[in-house]
Structure formats: C-alpha cells, structure tokens
Amino acid sequence: MDVVNQLQRQFIDYSASLHREGFLDDQFTQLQKLQDDNSPDFVVEVASLFFEDCEKLINNMARALEQQQGVDFRQVDASVHQLKGSSSSIGAMRVKDVCVAFRSFCEAQNREGCLRCLQQVTHEYSLLKNKLQTLFRLQQQILAAGGSIPVVE
Amino acid sequence: MESCNCIEPQWPPDDLLMKYQYISDFFIALAYFSIPLELIYFVKKSAVFPYRWVLVQFGAFIVLCGATHLINLWTFTVHSRTVASVMTTAKVLTAAVSCITALMLVHIIPDLLSVKTRELFLKNKAAELDREMGLIRTQEETGRHVRMLTHEIRSTLDRHTILKTTLVELGRTLALEECALWMPTRTGLELQLSYTLRQQNPVGYTVPIHHPVINQVFSSNRAVKISPNCPVARLRPAGKYMPGEVVAVRVPLLHLSNFHINDWPELSTKRYALMVLMLPSDSARQWHVHELELVEVVADQVAVALSHAAILEESMRARDLLMEQNVALDLARREAETAIRARNDFLAVMNHEMRTPMHAIIALSSLLQETELTPEQRLMVETILKSSNLLATLINDVLDLSRLEDGSLQLDLGTFNLYAVFREVLNLIKPIASVKKLHVSLNLAPDLPEYAIGDEKRLMQTILNIVGNAVKFSKEGSISITAFVAKLDTLRDSKAPEFLPVLSDNHFYLRVQVKDSGSGINPLDIPKLFTKFAQNQSTGTRNSGGSGLGLAICKRFVNLMEGHIWIESEGLGKGCTAILIVKLGMAERVNESKLPYMPKMPTNHGQTAFPGLKVLVMDENGVSRMVTKGLLLHLGCDVTMVGSSDECLRLVSHEHKVVFMDICVPGIDSYGITIRIHEKFTKRHERPLLVALTGNTDKVKKENCMRAGMDGLILKPVSLDKMRSVLTDLLEHRVFFEAI
C-alpha cells in the first residue's frame, strides 16, 4: 500500500510539474479523461502515435532544409503545420509554441531561422518524449503494484 | 642740158620748202601704211566687226594714198619717166578707190551712227532699271521690317510689352529721334502721353482730343504728316535746332465689347490712340512713301495685338475665377465628407453605446418578470419593458435609416411563409384594433404563393408599419388588408415614372393594399409623408407616438426590394389607402416538416450520451484524428475515420448523422467537399450535418463555411464537455456555429 501511495504521490507530483513547466497543458488532461475501461491504453497509444509522427516530420523537415539549392519552404511549412496540429491535439504546449515560431520563419523564407527552430523542436520533442516515457513507466509501476492511476485535475 | 627722159621738178631740190615737203610726204606715207596695219591688228583682236570688206576697201585706199606719197618722194629730184608713170598709175588708182570708198561711206556712216543711238538708248534703259531695282529693294526691305516688327509685337501678349516693343522697333527701323504713343483717357476727352521711346518716364501730359490736327489724323487710316508745332508733337525740349518731320497715325483700340458674334465691330464707336513719329532733327531726311506705309501697317498690327492681349486677359481672369470656385467647392465637399464621416462614427459609437444598456435593461426586466412579483410590481416591470422596447425600436429605426441611406444595408434573403407573415401581422394588430373597436379583415388572393424568397423580417416590419398607421389614424370603422399577385397592367402607376417593373420567371410582384376609413390625408400632404421626421401635425392626434421615421424607413425597404409604395387619399375625413408593391422570389414547395432528431437528452454527464450515433471524422493529422475519435468514442458514437477527402466522399452515407472535417489543413478543399456532399444528398433529411473543426479563429473562414453550406464550426481544442454540448445543440437545432 505504501509503495502504491508513494508511487501515486510521485505520479501526481510529476504530472503537476510537467504541467507547471509547460510541457503539457489542459488538452493532455482531457486525453487522460478519455481513458476508460473500453480504451485503457488510450493515452499511451496516442503518445506513441505522436512520437512516430514527430520523428517522421522532423526528418522530413531536416532533409528539406538541408537542400543547398532552393529550400522548398512550402513543404517545410506543411510539415510544421502537421506537427503543430499533432502537438496541440496531444497537449504538448512547448512543442506547439516552437511550431508557431517555426511557421513564421517559414513564411519569411528565413533558412537560418528555420534551422534554429528545427533544432529547438527536436530538443523539445526529445525532452517531452523522455518525460512522457517516465510518466508512463510510473503508471505501469502503479498498475503493477495493484493501484489505480490517480486522476489529476 | 642733156635731153633725157627725166622730168624735172618745178622747184630746185635744195629749197627749204622742198625739204619740208619731202619730209612731210615721208611721214604721210609712213602714217598711211601704218594705219591699215593698226586696223588689221585691232580687227583681228576684236571678235565683232561687221564691215570687213569696208575695211579692205579703206585699207586699199589708204595704202594707195601712201604709195602715192611715197612715190612722190622720188619726184623731188630728177626722176625718170618710169617713176613718173608709176606715180601717175598710183594716183589714178588711188583716185578710183577713193571715189568708190567715198560712195560706200554714204551707206556706212548712217549705220554706224545708228549703232551709237542704240547704245545711248540702252544706257538710258539700264539707268531706269537700276532705279526701279532700287525701289523694289527698298520695298522689300520695308516688308522685312514690317514682318520683323509684327513678329516682335505679336510675340508677347502683354499689353505694355506690345506697345513698348512697337515703339522701340519702329525707332530702330526708321532711325527715329522720338516716338510716342498717346492713349485716350477714361473720360475719352483727352489724350494722355503713355509711352515714349527716349524719355523713360512719360510725364502725364494730356492734350484735349478735339484738336483739328488730331481729328484729321483720326479720320483717315493713313499716316499723316503733321506740323512739329502741334501739341502732340512737342515731345522734345525746344532747341535751337530744326526739328525733323513729324508723322502721326491712328491706332484703333478694340475692346471685347466690339466683337459681336454675328456682326463685326462698328467703326463709328471706335476709340483711337495716336502714335507720333519724329525724324531726327537737323537731318535732311524726309518721310518716304514706303516709310509711311510701314508705319500704317505697324499701327494695324498693334491694334490686332492689343485686342489679343485684351482677350487673353479676360480669359485669364475667367480662369482664375473658376479656379477659386473650384477650390471653394472642393473645400465644401471635403467638409461635407468630414461631416458625414463624423456622423457615421457617431452613429457607430452610439449604436453600440445605446444598445448595450438597452440590452441590459430589457434582459434584466424580462428576467425580473419571471420572478415573484406583486401585481403592482408586475405592472411597473411591464411598463418598463414596454418603454424600453419602444426605445430599442426607435434606436433601431434611426440606425436602420442611417444605414439605409448609406446604402450599406442589405436584405437578408431567405425562404419564408408568406401567409404566416400576414397572419402574424394580423395577430399583432388585433389587440390594438379591438381596443379601438376597429374591424380588421385580411384577404389573401388564392393565387398568392405560400412561400416566397425575400427578407421576411423587413417585409413584416413594413406591412406592420403600414397597418399600424392605418389603425393609428382611424378612430372608427374598418381596416381591410388585401394581398395579391400584381399583374403587369396594374404595376404601372403614373405617379411613379421611375418604377419600371420587370417580370421574370422566378419573381413575382406582391401587391398589398391597406384601406382604412380613418381621418384621411390632404392630397397635398402626400408627398411629404415619406420624408423623414415630418409628422402630419394637422391630424391633431396627440397619442400618435413614434417618430416620423416609419414611412421613410418603409419606403427605403421597399426600394431595396425593388418595389414601390404610395398612399392615396381623397381628402380629409375620407380615409386613405396605402399600396405597396414589392418584388419577391418564387420558392419551390419545401417540406418544412421537422426532421427526426435525437430526443433531447437531459444534460447528464453520463458517458453514453449519443448511443450509436454514426459519425464520420475526416482529419489528415493522425494524432488529432485519434484524439477526436477518442472523444467521440467516449461519448458513445460509432466513429468512422478517414484521412482524405476522396475517402470521405466514398464512405459518407446517409447513415452518418454528422461529419466532422478538419479544415485548417492546407491542401484540403473542404468547401469543395461540402458542395459535393450537398450534391450527393439532395434530400435535406438524408444529408449528414457537416461540421468544421479548425484551430484558427478567423471570421472570414467562418463566413466561408456558412456560405459553403456547412452546418457548424467548432474551434479546436475540443474538450469532452464541449463536444458533448456541441453534439447536443447540433442534433437539436441542426446548426451550431461557435462564436468567434
């Protein structure tokens, strides 16, 4: 019991910290609400889909921006748009913010700015991935210990 | 003495006289021989000598004479007979030739003399031609001077420059000592010295105009020589020198008033200026004819140039005036625009400012009505509500009118039930009419279509206003409302020449007549009825209420509906009829029966609020698609996912009740899909509701969605509660546009 309580408290603190630091926002909470007996791994599934998507998009963008002659900004912009959509659907606030800045650089056709934003996005994404993986591990530990995942408001 | 055959001369050879004779004979012979030689020499040299044979003859004569004298030389001494015979022969020959020559000369000499006379004649002729040539040259030069002067004079359009240039150029051309121009004064009784050549500042000498010399000059258009003692010619200080000759010429001054369109200027009322030209004093120069001609021509040219200058001055003055007027008009227009803009700004502000408190008052009063009140309180609240409603109407009217005038008002066209409009009007007016004990009857023609396309609200407003007026201004009697479809002949009204109705297939003209038996209107007042704020005070109704805007607004609405409204009345106390014609579109019979929808669930937070509701979600983004699906699954819906527009069109069926489309992805033509889905499902109740999901808050996008035919718009991110309430609203009202 103690272990479960401890784990649960850890989970709550960690969740709160993620929200506080701006990694996640309200949308993530909504997603968590959708998780029920019919779809117990809803959040994890959505998160994995998000990670896959992210990696694909980041690779696309890196390749497009590496072109020495004539960067296709429209393609980059399309990818950023997708990324922004995905991140806002999952509640990845920081990633979404970088995407907003990224889009304005795309519109201005500023290659340097885009490269910088891409770096930032990659950074934020890897941070988020780590944090979420930690969170999910905590969840699994709680479940393994026989407890239930506390609902964080 | 020997007897020889010699002949002795008469005289002794040693005599002095003999010696001199001898010498003379020698010289004569010499001369006689050299003359023909000279002649031959010179004739050979000259090309023309018509009398060669005469020359030969003359030569022979001379040679023989010479020979005679030569031979004579020998006769001074004792000479033989031979010499004597030769001598004799020579003499005889000489005599013969001389006689012949003499005879010839009788013919020749007159000829030679005639040559001389011809020569003299030609010389005279040449002298005459020379003289004429000189004359022509002087004339040509004069012409050149005139042209140059004219050019100088006409090259400027300034009056003073013209006159000054004239004097300067004339002075230069004719080498004048002094040149002056006398202009008539304003009174016309004196001539004033206006311009002179040498003196820089003409002192205002004036000379009375009725001087015999001046009259003489004015009466002819030629340059007239005048005496240097004449008052106009006394331009130089009197000196000891002999003044040069003076000539004066008139310069006609033409005024604009002299030019009439059809007749040329009358010569009798002309004013003249006087130009005086003085040759240098102490010179023997005289005025030549060509110089006088020059002066006359110049005077004419000056007149023309002056008239041009006058015309130019006039036109410049007119142009300046026009420019001033233009500036003033521009200023006035700008002021008017500023005023209009200020009024519009004011109205816009007042619109908002007035409506907000009104809204608060009305809302709170109606809320208050719902609560527990005492009868007195209820009455008070009802009065507050009524008054505030009235005020709200007034505000709306004023704003409507101003918007109507700006032309910014547009009709809200839609399909509506025409019969229902009339029924509504009747219901609204019945209470008031029954209070006044007026009987209201409604007569709808059987061929009046049930449905029409037009602005329902404003049509009702207009009809209500007219009927309301009828009720207001009737103290007793009845009011009849008739409505029918207007035929072409009834459409034409002589009172409205601008109203040209055009019949077309999908439109019809609705004609509404409201006849009352009330106080009537003076026919003279009828035109004023439709003007703003003009109340008909003569009716003397104290409780008329309302502003005078009603009919003005009605007229504007009717105009917008391409119709016409007018009032007929036979006079005071004879009631009046208001007639209204508007153009409405024909509507197809639409089945307005309510479509089956989900019964309204109480808003519980149960998870299966929409059991089995089939929905289609179209989203390109995998993550957001999954999230939306999760939301809808949680709410119990049966979700089909598609990732592209083609898939969406393929899979959409009448079983799906709602289609959620993400429209903020570039590259998806969501409006196109909407239209295609509309086309696919022609029956309204079969078509699923189309809802757009977007992350952008764009008013334009929202309008585009509405226009394309979407039934709803939701902003992402969507929370669970939001989705629940949206679906509820959507299924009940069949439309949900989130406020942006």
Q: Tell me the nearest-neighbour CA distance from A88 into chain B, angstroms.
A: 7
CB pairs under 8 A between A and B: 72
Q: Using the beta-carbon criterion (under 8 Å), do B665 and A81 form an inter-chain contact? A: yes
pLDDT of residue B420: 87
Structure-token pair, residue B11:
């005289």
Q: Using the beta-carbon criterion (under 8 Å), do A53 and B626 form an inter-chain contact? A: no
> Can you tell me the ipTM of this complex?
0.78
Q: Is the pLDDT of residue A29 over 90?
A: no
Nearby residues of B601 by Cβ (< 8 Å), 6 or more positions away: B609, B728
Interface probe for B, chosen from A34, A51, A77, A128 (most Cβ of B below 10 Å), is A34
Residue B7 and residue B84 in contact, taking contact as beta carbons nearer than 8 Å: yes
Identify the bridge partners of residue A92 per DSSP, sorted by sequence position.
A24
Nearby residues of B655 by Cβ (< 8 Å), 6 or more positions away: B614
The percent of residues in chain B predicted with pLDDT above 70, rounded, is 82
Of the candidate CATH numbers 3.40.50.20, 3.40.190.10, 3.10.310.70, 3.40.50.2300, the domain formed by B614-736 belongs to 3.40.50.2300
Contacts of A49 in chain B (CB under 8 A): 622-623, 626
What's the structural domain count of chain A?
A: 1
pLDDT of residue B243: 75
Contacts of A42 in chain B (CB under 8 A): 630
pLDDT of residue B242: 74
pLDDT of residue B544: 43
Q: Is the pLDDT of residue B494 over 60?
A: no
Average pLDDT over every residue of B16-24 = 86
Q: Is the pLDDT of residue B718 over 60?
A: yes
pTM: 0.35
pLDDT of residue B668: 61
Q: Quick one: angle between helices A73-90 and A42-66, nearest 10?
A: 160
Asked if residue A95 is part of any domain, the answer here is: yes
Q: Using the beta-carbon criterion (under 8 Å), do B630 and A81 form an inter-chain contact? A: no
Contacts of B627 in chain A (CB under 8 A): 27, 31, 34, 46, 89-90
Query: Domain containing A109 — which CATH number?
Result: 1.20.120.160
Asked if residue A152 is part of any domain, the answer here is: no
A151 contact B CB<8A? no
- Is the alpha carbon torsion for B501, B503, B506, B512 positive or negative? positive
Q: Is the pLDDT of residue B497 over 70?
A: no
Q: Is the pLDDT of residue A137 over 60?
A: yes
Residue A135 and residue A14 in contact, taking contact as beta carbons nearer than 8 Å: yes
pLDDT of residue B336: 92
Q: What's the CATH number for B410-534+547-586?
A: 3.30.565.10
Asked if residue A126 is part of any domain, the answer here is: yes
Of A58-72, B313-327, B384-398, minimum mean pLDDT range: B384-398
Q: For B577, phi and psi rounded to 5 degrees? A: -120, 130
Residue B657 in marked binding region: no
Range of the domain at A57: 1-145
- B158-189 burial, b at 16+ Cβ within 10 Å, e below that, comes to eeeebbbbbbebbbebbebbbbbbbbbeeeee
Distance CA B662, CA B619 (A): 5
Q: Is the pLDDT of residue A5 over 50?
A: yes
Within 204-223 of B, beta carbons closer than 8 Å to A belong to none
Q: Tell me the nearest-neighbour CA distance from A3 into chain B, angstroms.
A: 32
Nearby residues of B730 by Cβ (< 8 Å), 6 or more positions away: B658, B689, B691, B711, B712, B736
Name the residue with higher pLDDT: B563 or B740.
B563
Of A56-60, B149-153, B216-220, B276-280, minimum mean pLDDT range: B149-153
Q: Which of B701, B710, B649, B713 has the alpha carbon at shortest distance from B677? A: B649
Nearby residues of B299 by Cβ (< 8 Å), 6 or more positions away: B223, B249, B250, B251, B275
- Where do runs of H (alpha helix) occur along B155-195? 159-174
Amino acid residing at A17: S
pLDDT of residue B421: 87
Tell me the C-alpha to C-alpha distance, in Å, between residue B735 and each of B364, B411, B690, B711, B712: 28, 22, 9, 5, 6
pLDDT of residue B596: 41
Interface probe for A, chosen from B623, B696, B697 (most Cβ of A below 10 Å), is B623
Q: Using the beta-carbon criterion (under 8 Å), do A53 and B633 form an inter-chain contact? A: no
| B324-B326-B328 Cα angle (round to 5) | 70
Of the candidate CATH numbers 3.30.450.40, 3.30.450.20, 3.40.50.2020, 3.40.50.2300, the domain formed by B155-255+269-317 belongs to 3.30.450.40
Q: Is the pLDDT of residue B701 over 80?
A: no
pLDDT digit string, tens, across residues B601-646: 444 444 456 777 888 888 877 778 888 888 888 788 888 888 877 8
pLDDT of residue B539: 45
For residue A39, give the nearest of B621, B633, B720 by CB distance.
B633
Asked if residue A11 is part of any domain, the answer here is: yes
pLDDT digit string, tens, across residues B234-287: 766 666 677 778 888 888 876 655 444 455 555 445 678 888 888 887 777 888
* Count of residues in chain B: 740
pLDDT of residue B671: 74
For residue A36, give the nearest of B628, B634, B662 by CB distance.
B634
A85 contact B CB<8A? yes
Q: Using the beta-carbon criterion (under 8 Å), do B623 and A42 form an inter-chain contact? A: no
Q: Using the beta-carbon criterion (under 8 Å), do A90 and B716 form an inter-chain contact? A: no
Average pLDDT, chain B: 79
Nearby residues of B373 by Cβ (< 8 Å), 6 or more positions away: B381
Distance CA B551, CA B565 (A): 9
Residue B470 in marked binding region: yes
pLDDT of residue B545: 44
Distance CA A85, CA B348 (A): 39
Residue B471 in marked binding region: yes
pLDDT tier at B125, thresholds 50, 70, 90: very high
pLDDT of residue B403: 67
pLDDT of residue B624: 80
Average pLDDT over every residue of B433-462 = 86
CB atoms within 10 A of CB B108: 15
Residue B638 and residue B595 in contact, taking contact as beta carbons nearer than 8 Å: no
Instruction: Evaluate whether B155-255+269-317 and B410-534+547-586 have a shared fold.
Output: no
Asked if residue A51 is part of any domain, the answer here is: yes
Contacts of A40 in chain B (CB under 8 A): none
Asked if residue A90 is part of any domain, the answer here is: yes
Contacts of B624 in chain A (CB under 8 A): 85-86, 88-89
Of B66-80, B206-220, B482-496, minimum mean pLDDT range: B482-496
pLDDT of residue B338: 92
CB-based burial label for B477 (10 Å; 0-12, 13-18, 19+):
middle
The percent of residues in chain A predicted with pLDDT above 90, rounded, is 5
Structure-token pair, residue B277:
């030209």
Domain ranges of chain B: 30-106, 155-255+269-317, 410-534+547-586, 614-736
Full 3-state SS string of B83-123: HHHHHHHHHHHHHHHHHHHHHHHHHHHHHHHHHHHHHHHHH
